[in-house]
Structure 1
Amino acid sequence: MTGIDRSDGFVGLPVTDPSPSERGDAARNRALLLDAARRLITERGTTSVTMDDVATAAGVGKGTLFRRFGSRSGLMIVLLDEDEKEQQHAFMFGPPPLGPGAPPIDRLIAYGHERLSFVWDHRALLSDAGRDPQTRFNAPSTLHRIHVRMLLASAGTTGDLDAQTDALLALLDAEYVTHQVTDLDRSLEQQVRGWEDVVHKLCGV
């Protein structure tokens, strides 16, 4: 899927990087590796799963695993991919207020609500993948940044939009959200209210 909500200024940026066609054996190996990784993460947690563990559980050579995913962080990103696609589709094409058709401030607030829940549910994978600069600033993260920046612009926000976008997205960083909940006892509801406060101040409301 390559079309973007043009009313928000997006042109031609895909939801995620397209995957090349795979031979039957390559597709089977990919499915085996992803199923094994999901199963191990469910059983042990993300931080306790190594590439050796995944290759062994899938019955596939470690070299095949690295050739297919490049790195441990690359594997984490692929595991996130399907859920990312669903959320990205919702904010680009879904019903308002998350999708097109609502005022930009309402869309920004709805985006913060949805993304905070997503980050919390996927915090271990996002945190792990975010430690590698090559995967931290990948196509999906770029799409999120473009979306927030364009909504700020559509809301008439003035000043340095890049800095303001980065400041907002920092509130959705997996490590930050986890720290807020586990160390500072700030619930997701409190963080959502904080997101709303910052959006309103940036947009002059």
Structure 2
Amino acid sequence: MADNYIERKMEELRRGSQQRVMPARRYAAKAGKLSFDFPARRVLLCGLATDLGDGIATVFLDAGCKVAVFDADSGQGSKMAREKGVRFYEIDVNDTTAVEKAFADLLKAWRDVDIIINMEAGEDYRVAIARMWSEHKTRYPFPSSYGGRFIDIDGPSFEKTSFLSEYGITVNCVSVAGRNAKDVIDMCMFLSLPQAGFIHGSGKC
């Protein structure tokens, strides 16, 4: 009996009918999900009283952040303030004097900002707001392991604003070419994560 069993098994092996049975794979309860710590940040959106800006504001507000908007569009900006609860400053972001006054008021309310996202503003403005932020950081160097994020949407500002890196602030540009609004919003959020602090000087994320 035993001899016949052994012979049968040997024959099965020779014919390739014996298959290796893999143990069942065990998945963790949260398999397929990643989560990141994202403490509440203070976010300034410049030139973004737009549908895109509304989407960006919503994502950050949902994460528990504070959001302020600098823009000349009083209609859209007031709507965002009313419906989203953002701080809205009706100013021309290319008017350096107006921006300086609004930025000073925002810093008085928040003490500092953590993230600045720009769109549709001239190069002079980008350099000006970056300079204001760096001067504030010099006067009030609050300890921070996060540093900050300076993100331009379709604005190659790195060359003239890279001095922000001295304060641990990364400078990057997000391109809208070939992307829908959700892609741009997701990229802004991704660059704002603490884990993205190594991404700096990217011309077209």
Give the TM-score normalised by structure 1: 0.31
Higher relative contact order (CA 8 A, sep 6+): 1
**Which of the pair is proportionally richer in strand?**
2
Larger radius of gyration: 2
**Which of the pair is proportionally richer in helix?**
1
